[in-house]
Chains A and B, each alone.
Chain A
């Protein structure tokens, strides 16, 4: 009820803003955002990417964005609005926009679409995502070094492969430092609810975790860890302001270079449907400065980052043993292949929990 009303309202607002827009000869580029641009996390970083794009190509393009667009069927209307308003390249920036984007893409073959973090493509629809598990691996190394209790706290959003692969990468790294390390996982079942994220962080700390990591979008967990004198990792963006003595590092989504590259291709007429999945080497994300840790831990993290960037270290290096004790089939030579990581639906050995829905 509420969602559909909000979507209706955004639709109406959009109609208003679009009729005011002009400049016919500029390429129109549209963005669909999940949250408000002030969420300081996921959407905020996408908008930083858009701003970088405007800075670089502002004289040739015109950007429009729609924030707070709910995932699911409602998104279709918003995407179509952008098409009707003349946008020729449209970035839909959340996993849940996958099917709506595909539907609209099939309807408008002359418009190009870019969908973040999904796996469905079309001749006029690309996908793009980042290998965040590489960053999670580095965080796992740091967490195992910094934890005194040997218990890590992990706040998950939804048990989807991206989040599960993050948990596994973290634990594989942590186990390489401390084989007996434990992780407590709490699913918030939301990407954004500061209150609930704070409650989850409190619960984890009350149960003995002393390093908190999150795969939800607000700085609430960081703030709670800071209040309780524990350590934590940020998510998506720089959160050190919420825990100057707490944040160890943070995975920073840096979409700007990719957006600029794709828009340049569109302007040059060389845009084609692609599947871009970049890691540290292609600057799809970056690590925030390593803070609040001894120099040797910092050096270890920097070395690991350099090794991953150079392709010498793969977080999912075989053998990978599942919770059932059996090694996972190694499809990528000496490491798991991309398909296995993108579809990851199991926990590795040593995670003393059950994956929801398994």
Chain B
């Protein structure tokens, strides 16, 4: 029983940064913008988040630093890809390269420092319930925020007029423009939201996951978040499934190795990716034709003035 609880806790911790970053990117892509710079925004968020927490002693301020840093990074992207209508793929990749370098520079002075990680919730009585107590009532704040974030994004996209307009921009920016909606401004906000989420996801790593900063500590999680958005076919509900599935297979393969299941570890390490691909194939087969990607995704829009 304790082991099951420990595994679930580890899965939630491993999935949370993916979920936060992917939720942000989902909103960005729903507005029709493909920002491949998630990894770069995350790692800068990690460096700044750690710096903030180390300087002030507050995890909350650290998280805010991460959010602001991610947003600033995304503004560079918005300036290039939206303002100057530069190719989005190239800009996104450049943003990642910039982010990796910049985070090393920002974090250089903090390498080797330690902070006290984010505290976990504790409600006497509830947190002590076996099996589910710590899972439901004993997480750190980031986990609850990530759930609230996905629910909020779902509500925004499907239950508000603003969400409808944002999706319209992503599917047909010409029509949205013709109807009088400020396509570029809406997309800028969507990109900023994506950056803020990526920054928060990055900050989660040194603030809660492994409470120290090391250059390159995101280790490709930004790319997995990008893949999860495709996996989810741009739907928040499926994103939750995808993120937790990926996290679960990652953690379970580690445990399986410890139990000595006898399957080569190389195969086990590939399992999370394999599982994701298989589910993706099944989903696309089950769908009744047509792509679910926002129709205008990645295309440049220059309004006629």
Contact = CB atoms under 8 A, between A and B. Distances in A.
Interface stretch (A49-57, A200-208, A317-325): A200-208
Nearest to A185: B257
Interface string A149-184: 000010010010000000000000000000000001
A26 B293 CA distance: 58
B217 A186 contact: no
A203 B254 contact: yes
Interface residues of B, number: 46
A196 B111 CA distance: 19
Contact of A199 (B14, B17, B268): B14
B249 to A, nearest CB: 12
A199 B217 contact: no
Given A196-B219, A356-B266, A242 B212 contact: yes
A9, A36, A220 interface centre (most CB from chain B within 10 Å): A36
B104 A36 contact: yes
Contacts of B104: 36, 38
Given A2-B223, A357-B266, A39 B209 contact: no
A153, A188, A206, A352 interface centre (most CB from chain B within 10 Å): A206
Nearest to B110: A38
Contacts of A196: 219, 250
B82 to A, nearest CB: 22
Interface string B197-229: 000000001000111101111011101000000
Contacts of A194: 205, 209-210, 212, 214, 217, 219
Interface of B: 2-3, 6-7, 10, 13-14, 17, 39, 93, 96-97, 100, 104, 107-108, 111-112, 114, 205, 209-212, 214-217, 219-221, 223, 250-251, 254-255, 257-260, 262, 264-266, 268-269
Closest 8 CB pairs of A and B: A187-B265, A36-B215, A193-B219, A189-B269, A38-B111, A206-B6, A203-B254, A356-B264
15 contacts: A2-B39, A38-B107, A38-B108, A38-B111, A185-B258, A186-B258, A190-B219, A195-B221, A196-B250, A198-B209, A199-B13, A203-B10, A203-B251, A241-B112, A356-B266
